[in-house]
Amino acid sequence: MSLSVDDSFDKPRLAVIFGGRSSEHGVSCLTAREVLAVIDTDRYDIRPIGITRDGAWVEETARWPDLMAGQLPSVRDDLPAFGWGDLHQFDAVFPLLHGPWGEDGTIQGLLEMADVRYVGAGVLASAVSMDKPVTKTVFSAAGLPQIPYVTIMPWQWKGERDRVEARIRALGLPVFVKPARAGSSSGVMMVDTWDELEIAVDKAREFDPKVIVEAGARSKRELECAVMQQP
């Protein structure tokens, strides 16, 4: 089903894409709610597009005020279908998907192929920053210091566990165990005793078969930096 757009409408047409197949589906819906709450509808024609947990694209136009006012929602699967081939009808897209199949460069690549402008980082930057060990490799190459860490590839936890555990123990306690390619603190655990390590790794692997284990930092501060660049 094609999204109906009035070609005579002179407002810039913006699509807000949210939801998605990842474990961060609900967080993405929350992000969409916040964005939709502040976009000036007198200046822009806003079209919310949801992606269900099963990956179906649907039109959320009829219920998007509920997104702004209600509790954290999820994308329903009983809404009119949206054909992503119609993305070219928009002047720009806000890709507000979190986690895999979203902020990892996949939706950005789709929009690049469709020749549609979008907000946020491009394909390469999105893919690199989604994978924590890859991000650390790039940062190290740029001369930025890194906390010691160990990457556990999917096959290593089953076939090389003793060797992997020895490398992790060398980090000392505490350590932080995280899915390598997930956000919103999903699957993250702090390990204070080595008896907790297996539980933490198995928990992280529920979100991503690739896992990163980082040494605990002392006298730590968390800094959040936003970067804005002209297209």
Residue 3 pLDDT more than 60? no
CATH of domain 132-215: 3.30.1490.20
The pLDDT of 181-209, averaged and rounded, is 94
Residue 69 pLDDT more than 60? no
The pLDDT of 199-212, averaged and rounded, is 97
pLDDT at 225: 82
- Which is more confident, 67 or 140? 140
- State how far the Cα of 95 lies from the Cα of 37, in Å rounded to an integer: 16
The residue ranges of every structural domain in the chain are: 13-130, 132-215
The pLDDT of 117-145, averaged and rounded, is 95
CA-closest candidate to residue 75, choices 128, 40, 27, 141: 27
**DSSP labels for the chain?**
-PPP--TT--SPEEEEEEE-SSTTHHHHHHHHHHHHHHS-TTT-EEEEEEE-TTS-EEE-GGGHHHHHHSSS----SSSPB--GGGGGG-SEEEE---STTTTTTHHHHHHHHTT--BSS--HHHHHHHHSHHHHHHHHHHTT-----EEEE-TTHHHHSHHHHHHHHHTT-S-EEEEETT--TTTT-EEESSGGGHHHHHHHHHTT-SSEEEEEPPSS------------
Q: Please give the CATH architecture assigned to the domain spanning 13-130.
A: 3-Layer(aba) Sandwich (3.40)
The pLDDT of 164-169, averaged and rounded, is 98
Half-sphere exposure of 11 (CA within 13 A, CB side): 14
Residue 6 pLDDT more than 60? no
Domains 13-130 and 132-215 share a fold: no
The pLDDT of 187-200, averaged and rounded, is 96
Contact predicate 20/32, CB 8 Å: no
pLDDT at 9: 57
Residue 227 pLDDT more than 60? yes
**Across the chain, what does the average pLDDT equal?**
89
Name the most confidently modeled range: 4-13, 75-84, 212-221.
212-221
Instruction: Give per-residue pLDDT as tens, 73-124.
Output: 688 887 888 887 899 999 999 999 999 999 999 999 999 999 999 999 999 9
Edge-to-edge strand ranges of the sheet holding 13-19:
57-59, 45-51, 13-19, 92-95
Contact predicate 230/163, CB 8 Å: no
Residue 161 pLDDT more than 80? yes
The pLDDT of 159-173, averaged and rounded, is 97
Residue 158 pLDDT more than 60? yes
Contact predicate 94/68, CB 8 Å: no
